[in-house]
Chain A
Amino acid sequence: MGVRDCSAYTAAMNDTVASASDLPPPVAVTGRVPGNAGTWVGIFCVLVEFLLLFGVYFVAKAHHQEAFLAGPDKLATVAGVTITFLLLTSGYCMVKAVEMIRADRRRATLGWVLGAFVLGLGYPLVKFFEIRWNVAHGIDGEAGIFYTTYYYLTLNHLVHVSWGLLGLIWVAVRTALGMYSPRDYSGLEAAAVYWHTTDVIWLVIFPFFYVLR
């Protein structure tokens, strides 16, 4: 390599170093387990349970393609979309709650947990009105295989969301009593990761019944 080539190489390297330093630092993988071990046993059990239920959905769909083609048209899409918005926004509140306790802002933590709870409570409320609307339009558990599967999966999800809501009440009480700190907030984080898991499952259920044909 000649002198000229060498200086061109150095200049190119300098450019590379300069552009690399402009990049954000890489995210450090700490390997920690958010929350606590017990919650993760529950989370993986729930995920396996819903994978099996999704298997039921796929088999039913394969056997009754016409019913699954027409089924979503009769459901109130607005209910499914509203539930999705409520769960995602409630999940965002729990992200902020964890952020706040790390910053030792306990009143703000309580505010975000209560926000997550109130938004989460909107889910059973919307579900109540959706089912009332369904029944008024002849969509009950005997309206056909699509609707049977729809009730089976969505009500099962609602049960899991109810556990999450009870968890949020528990976490709110403990936050109000000052039982979490920046050094120990595993209970709060455990409730948050479980709550986000119900989001992940709903993000599958929503397109299955309201979007896919």
Chain B
Amino acid sequence: MGHAEKIWLLLIGLTAAGAWLAESGQSSWGLSLVVAGLIGTKGHLVIDHYMEMRTANQRFRRLLHVFVVLVPVLVLLSHGFSDVLKRLTTIA
């Protein structure tokens, strides 16, 4: 099995894990942590292996990785600090 096939299988497996969570998940820190981990891991796999950014221009690579790191961090912040976000975005 080639490298691309292994990455594809891994991505499909992680998606299946996400689907299982969708059927059984309830709102919790655990679910948010797992979802944040899945977004980060799958994004990293696509960027470094599908897009071949591991060996490409490292500035572009870092910018792409900011996206798949920032979004999981926002997922966790929105779970833990939704009241703060609500207060900050309420027009009085």
Contacts and interface: CB of A to CB of B under 8 A. Distances in A.
Interface residues of A, number: 49
A200 B22 contact: no
A54 B39 CA distance: 13
A49 to B, nearest CB: 12
Contacts of A193: 51
Interface string A51-67: 10010001101110100
B4 A203 contact: no
Interface in B50-78: 50-58, 60, 63-64, 67-68, 70-71, 74-75, 78
Nearest to A99: B4
A141 B74 CA distance: 26
B89 to A, nearest CB: 5
Interface of B: 4-5, 7-8, 11-12, 15-16, 18-19, 21-23, 25-28, 31-32, 35, 38-39, 42-43, 46-47, 49-58, 60, 63-64, 67-68, 70-71, 74-75, 78, 82-83, 85-86, 89-90
List 9 A-B pairs, minimum CB-CB distance, nearest first: A213-B27, A62-B85, A62-B86, A92-B8, A62-B82, A211-B22, A81-B19, A58-B78, A196-B50
Interface of A: 27-34, 40, 44, 47, 51, 54, 58-59, 61-63, 65, 69, 72, 77, 80-81, 84-85, 88-89, 91-92, 94-96, 98-99, 192-193, 196-197, 199-200, 203-204, 206-207, 210-213
